[in-house]
């Protein structure tokens, strides 16, 4: 329980010892980031209109009379199915969570199961049967009352945020406190400054990413280990898989997020709080999203009670691509929806395939025409996170941001059920990941190039080729500025619409199956931690477009960087100039020898003749410039290739 002590609070454990938490006004929150606000969106399952007007239990300790089973079973079922509870999905006494991978069963059936140490515990929230949880709820209410509706104001925010921060610290303290290593990383990350322009920045220990506290691993158990031991003890003591939440002296994310939601629902006034389950980096995780009213604007703040000192906007560039819920839709005008809600997609005809073989279909989501990339996943991959490739692609999409020459990302959903034509749902054979993206009606550029070739053209119309190349360079500059290497630039991964109203082609880079942050690896313990897709020391890409140094990584692991994209960009320009794939007429077995020798794809002899002719006007200037850029991008030495910005500058001179 908690003892209030003139601005501080102390916890008293079951042995009677007190643990001082320190001054409540010294919370090192991300104050700089908290000055940003967003308009509140539409939230799944939420009809919340105004803060502080949700039903509240008047008695801090409920009566012994059980609420209707249907009430808590309904919310429990929703969390089991959607991994999400909205602002209005209040966790009444009797709520339980058996885990996302366990079939939903009535609580009575779960209580009668034979207990097993190998089965994940069933978390039960019921103050009528859990005196420790009752004490936590009463103490939390006293804590918030002591802060008052005005509370102690925070430098760049309101008392609402301060109260939320104090409640997150309270939850963390009730379940074992926070990991000091995480707090150090938070402070180191803060010292690096804003991450809006370059989200992938290392914040590992100064001694290097491989030094992740291994020297202490044998002496200090992790919070997960402590929680697992506590769960085993409670299971054995109760001879049941059902574990009352208040009985745990140590808890991990799934326990903390549920407790945070439970306490927010019982605060007065109610703190609007969502319960979200998904992934943090490459591991299953649970957290909360709290709606805070500041200056008349509702702001969505992500609260992770495992990291109670680092509360940020849900849209924070780092948090947005590290915390991945099972479903999140955000289309323009900006609407954020988690869980299952009104944005049920309608799928139409197939329009292509991704590099990974995923089917791409035209669809409608939230009233917007979109492209849906549908990827079938192995069940063990989702449950055990044994392969992070699908999460890697999601992280990249979330980190790119908005740019006119990169296909827009609308959101995603991880489904275990599919919608049939009659509206009924059926169970999928395997989990399904759907990534919703901007739909470009013109399709991929390789289809346009094929049409030009069939029409008897020798090359893409020079002015059009310059505009397309300049737009692709714009997109590459954006990706490279954010520390992302695409690794598969080619005409089939460029979407175009030649019928735009302003007579300038719409050009967008797509397909990020192979994209990774430069410098990411599995040895990192920070934001650059990476699993699933091969890193930048492994050969990845399409053979006719890959750079010599990337091909060399097939035989000996060696690092390559953003220069590899510039070689592929040069090969892409050769497609515009020849209306054919690079190294046309050369067998696949011979291509490797040409690339290893640094031999760039040859241009057609007809194009060479045209370039050698006397001046024939603007078209010849454009062709000359494209050929020079093509040759510079396909230099054997990566250091001699232009950067994306340099290539863009040379093309912009021709566009002007």
Q: Please check whether residue 472 lies inside any domain of the structure.
A: yes
Query: Is residue 509 within 8 Å of 405, Cβ to Cβ?
Result: yes
Query: Is residue 341 within 8 Å of 45, Cβ to Cβ?
Result: yes
Rg (CA), the chain: 28
Is the pLDDT reported for residue 450 higher than 90?
A: yes
- If residue 353 lies in a helix (H) or strand (E), which one and from where to where? strand 346-353
How many of the other CB atoms lie within 10 Å of CB of 509?
Answer: 24
Q: Please check whether residue 615 lies inside any domain of the structure.
A: yes
Q: Please check whether residues 604 and 635 belong to one and the same domain.
A: yes
Q: Please check whether residues 291 and 431 belong to one and the same domain.
A: no
Query: If we measure between CA atoms, which residue out of 312, 314, 319 comes closest to residue 157?
Result: 312
Strand partners, 53: none
Number of domains making up the chain = 3
Query: Is residue 379 within 8 Å of 428, Cβ to Cβ?
Result: no
Q: Work out the burial of residue 627: count CB atoms within 10 Å of its CB; fewer than 13 is exposed, 13-18 middle, 19 or more buried.
A: middle
Q: Please check whether residue 575 lies inside any domain of the structure.
A: yes
Give the pLDDT band of residue 373 (cuts 50, 70, 90): very high
When pLDDT is averaged across residues 462-482 and rounded to a whole number, the result is: 95
Is the pLDDT reported for residue 552 higher than 80?
A: yes
Query: If we measure between CA atoms, which residue out of 459, 462, 469 comes closest to residue 604?
Result: 459
Q: Please check whether residue 197 lies inside any domain of the structure.
A: no
| 34: CB partners within 8 A, 6+ apart | 154, 156, 157, 161, 311, 312, 313
Q: Please check whether residue 204 lies inside any domain of the structure.
A: no
Q: Please check whether residues 390 and 502 belong to one and the same domain.
A: no
When pLDDT is averaged across residues 211-225 and rounded to a whole number, the result is: 58
Give the pLDDT band of residue 588 (cuts 50, 70, 90): confident
For 369, phi then psi, to 5°, come to -75, 130
Q: Please check whether residues 314 and 390 belong to one and the same domain.
A: no
Q: Please check whether residue 205 lies inside any domain of the structure.
A: no
Q: Please check whether residues 355 and 494 belong to one and the same domain.
A: no
Domain that holds residue 291: 29-179+222-331
Q: Please check whether residues 305 and 369 belong to one and the same domain.
A: no
Query: Is residue 97 within 8 Å of 126, Cβ to Cβ?
Result: no
Pair type for strands 346-353 and 359-365: antiparallel
When pLDDT is averaged across residues 430-452 and rounded to a whole number, the result is: 91
| 218: CB partners within 8 A, 6+ apart | none
Output the 3-class SS for 159-188: HHHHHHHHHHHHHHHHCCCCCHHHHHHHHH
Position 605 scores a pLDDT of 62
Give the pLDDT band of residue 232 (cuts 50, 70, 90): very high
Query: Is residue 570 within 8 Å of 544, Cβ to Cβ?
Result: no
Position 23 scores a pLDDT of 33
Position 548 scores a pLDDT of 95
Position 6 scores a pLDDT of 33
Q: Please check whether residues 68 and 122 belong to one and the same domain.
A: yes
Is the pLDDT reported for residue 117 higher than 50?
A: yes
- The lowest-confidence range among 106-115, 521-530, 628-637 is 521-530
| 142: CB partners within 8 A, 6+ apart | 2, 4
CA separation for the pair 245, 256 (Å, rounded) = 9
Q: Please check whether residues 119 and 168 belong to one and the same domain.
A: yes
Query: Is residue 44 within 8 Å of 337, Cβ to Cβ?
Result: yes
Q: Please check whether residue 15 lies inside any domain of the structure.
A: no
Instruction: Give the end of a domain, one of 438, 456, 478.
Output: 438
Q: Would you call the peptide bond into 362 cis, given omega within 30 degrees of 0 as the criterion?
A: no
Q: Please check whether residue 336 lies inside any domain of the structure.
A: no
Is pLDDT larger for residue 184 or for residue 306? 306
Position 330 scores a pLDDT of 80
Instruction: Give the end of a domain, one of 438, 453, 486.
Output: 438
Q: Please check whether residues 122 and 256 belong to one and the same domain.
A: yes
First-to-last alpha carbon distance for the chain, in angstroms, is 70
CA separation for the pair 241, 464 (Å, rounded) = 66
Pair type for strands 242-244 and 273-280: unpaired
Q: What is the mean pLDDT of the chain?
A: 78
Q: Please check whether residues 554 and 624 belong to one and the same domain.
A: yes
Is pLDDT larger for residue 309 or for residue 422? 309
Pair type for strands 273-280 and 323-325: antiparallel
Query: If we measure between CA atoms, which residue out of 276, 285, 527, 525 comes closest to residue 398?
Result: 527
Q: What is the CATH number of the domain that holds 595?
A: 1.10.510.10
Position 281 scores a pLDDT of 82
pLDDT in tens, 481-518: 988 999 999 999 999 999 877 778 999 999 998 898 88
- The lowest-confidence range among 10-19, 77-86, 230-239, 615-624 is 10-19
How many of the other CB atoms lie within 10 Å of CB of 381?
Answer: 18
- Mean pLDDT is highest, among 79-88, 252-261, 360-369, for 252-261
Position 210 scores a pLDDT of 42
Distance (Å) of CA 452 to CA 202, 445, 464, 471, 491? 46, 11, 12, 20, 13
CA separation for the pair 258, 264 (Å, rounded) = 10
Distance (Å) of CA 568 to CA 471, 646, 655? 15, 15, 22
Q: Please check whether residues 256 and 365 belong to one and the same domain.
A: no
Contacts 24+ apart (CB under 8 A), 492-496: 492/444, 492/445, 492/446, 493/355, 493/444, 494/444, 494/445, 494/468, 494/572, 495/407, 495/440, 495/442, 495/443, 495/444, 495/445, 496/440, 496/442, 496/443, 496/444, 496/445, 496/448, 496/468
Place of tokens 């991978």: 101
Q: Please check whether residues 398 and 514 belong to one and the same domain.
A: no
Q: Would you call the peptide bond into 269 cis, given omega within 30 degrees of 0 as the criterion?
A: yes
Instruction: Give the end of a domain, one of 438, 467, 482.
Output: 438
Record the tokens describing residue 322, joined without a space.
Answer: 């590290």
């Amino acid at each position: 329980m908690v003892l209030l002590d003139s601005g501080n609070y102390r916890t008293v454990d079951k042995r009677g010892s007190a643990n001082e938490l320190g001054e409540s006004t010294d919370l090192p929150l991300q104050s700089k980031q908290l000055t940003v606000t967003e308009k509140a969106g539409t939230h799944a399952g939420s009809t919340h209109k105004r803060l502080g007007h949700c039903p509240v239990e008047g008695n801090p300790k409920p009566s012994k009379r059980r609420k209707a089973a249907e009430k808590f079973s309904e919310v429990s079922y929703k969390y089991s199915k959607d991994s999400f509870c909205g602002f209005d999905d209040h966790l009444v006494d009797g709520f339980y969570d058996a885990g996302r991978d366990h079939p939903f069963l009535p609580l009575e059936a779960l209580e009668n199961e034979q207990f097993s140490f190998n089965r994940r515990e069933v978390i039960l929230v019921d103050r009528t049967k859990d005196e420790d949880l009752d004490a936590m709820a009463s103490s939390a209410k006293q804590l918030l009352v002591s802060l008052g509706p005005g509370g102690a104001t925070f430098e760049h925010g309101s008392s609402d945020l301060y109260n939320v921060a104090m409640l997150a610290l309270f939850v963390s303290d009730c379940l074992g406190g926070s990991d000091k290593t995480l707090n150090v990383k938070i402070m180191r990350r803060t010292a690096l400054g804003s991450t809006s322009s370059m989200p992938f920045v290392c914040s590992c220990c100064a001694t290097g990413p491989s030094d992740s506290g291994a020297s202490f691993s044998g002496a200090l158990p992790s919070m997960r280990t402590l929680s697992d031991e506590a769960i085993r003890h409670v299971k054995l003591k109760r001879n049941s898989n059902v574990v009352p939440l208040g009985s745990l002296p140590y808890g991990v994310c799934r326990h903390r997020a549920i407790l945070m939601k439970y306490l927010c629902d019982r605060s007065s006034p109610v703190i609007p709080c969502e319960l979200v389950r998904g992934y943090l980096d490459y591991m299953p995780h649970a957290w909360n999203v709290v709606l805070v009213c500041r200056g008349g604007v509702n702001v969505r703040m992500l609260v992770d009670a495992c990291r109670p000192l680092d509360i940020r906007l849900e849209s924070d560039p780092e948090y947005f691509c590290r915390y991945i819920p099972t479903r999140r839709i955000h289309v323009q005008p900006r609407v954020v929806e988690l869980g299952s809600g009104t944005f049920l997609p309608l799928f139409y005809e197939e329009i292509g395939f991704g590099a990974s073989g995923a089917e791409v279909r035209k669809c409608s989501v939230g009233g917007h025409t979109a492209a849906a990339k549908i990827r079938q996943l192995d069940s063990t991959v989702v449950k055990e996170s044994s392969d992070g490739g699908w999460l890697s692609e999601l992280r990249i999409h979330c980190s790119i941001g908005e740019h006119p020459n990169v296909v827009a990302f609308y959101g995603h959903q991880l489904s275990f059920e599919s919608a049939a034509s009659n509206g009924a749902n059926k169970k999928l054979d395997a989990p399904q990941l759907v990534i919703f993206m901007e739909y470009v009606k013109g399709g991929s550029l390789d289809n346009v190039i094929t049409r030009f070739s069939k029409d008897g053209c020798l090359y893409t119309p020079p002015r059009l080729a310059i505009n397309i190349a300049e737009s692709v360079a714009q997109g590459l500059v954006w990706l490279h500025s954010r520390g992302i290497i695409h690794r598969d630039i080619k005409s089939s991964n460029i979407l175009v619409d030649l019928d735009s109203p302003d007579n300038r082609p719409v050009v967008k880079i797509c397909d990020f199956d192979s994209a990774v942050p430069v410098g990411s690896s599995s040895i990192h313990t920070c934001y650059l931690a990476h699993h699933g897709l091969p890193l930048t020391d492994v050969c990845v890409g399409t053979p006719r477009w890959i750079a010599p140094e990337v091909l060399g990584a097939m035989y000996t692991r060696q690092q390559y960087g953003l220069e590899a994209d510039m070689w592929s960009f040069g090969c892409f320009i050769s497609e515009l100039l020849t209306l054919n794939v690079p190294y046309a007429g050369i067998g696949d077995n011979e291509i490797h020898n040409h690339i290893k020798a640094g031999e760039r794809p040859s241009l057609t002899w007809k194009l060479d003749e045209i370039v050698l002719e006397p001046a024939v006007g603007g078209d010849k200037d454009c062709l000359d410039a494209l050929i020079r850029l093509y040759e510079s991008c396909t230099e054997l030495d990566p250091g001699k290739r232009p950067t994306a910005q340099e290539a863009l500058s040379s093309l912009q001179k021709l566009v002007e």
